[in-house]
């Protein structure tokens, strides 16, 4: 049986510059991404905290590899939690 790769969507929807010289990054993702992420992290249900940690580490590694540095603070908001 051949598996067809499904596209998982994680987009940077907006990067807002704050008055205190920091920035807020807004992400959008679809259900396929959410399911893939839960499977890749061996989660039985969605974990905003785990998602936040993985994103934070990925950004820090990218910045370090490119000779940049940043202090990452804050939370990643799940659009479903805003309602």
Instruction: Quick: pLDDT tens for 5-62.
Output: 566 788 999 988 989 888 888 889 999 999 999 999 999 999 989 998 898 888 888 8
pLDDT tier at 2, thresholds 50, 70, 90: very low
Residue 5 falls within a domain, yes or no? no
Residue 4 falls within a domain, yes or no? no
The predicted structure's pLDDT at residue 43: 97
State pTM to two decimals: 0.68
CA distances from 16 to 23, 66, 68, 72 (A): 5, 22, 19, 14
Residue 37 falls within a domain, yes or no? yes
Output phi, psi for 29, to 5 deg. Answer: -150, 155
Residue 3 falls within a domain, yes or no? no
Using DSSP's 3-state secondary structure scheme, residue 24 falls into strand
Q: pLDDT tens across 60-71, in order?
A: 888 888 887 766
pLDDT higher than threshold 50 for residue 1: no
Structural domain harbouring 39: 10-17+24-81
CA atoms of 38 and 47, how far apart (whole Å): 8
């Amino acid at each position: 049986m051949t598996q067809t790769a499904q596209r998982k969507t994680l987009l940077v929807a907006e990067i807002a510059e704050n008055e205190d010289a920091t920035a807020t990054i807004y992400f959008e993702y679809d259900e396929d991404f959410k399911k893939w992420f839960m499977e890749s992290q061996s989660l039985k249900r969605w974990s905003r905290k785990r998602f936040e940690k993985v994103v934070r580490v990925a950004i820090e590694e990218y910045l370090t590899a490119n000779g940049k540095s940043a202090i990452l603070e804050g939370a990643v908001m799940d659009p479903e939690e805003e309602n």
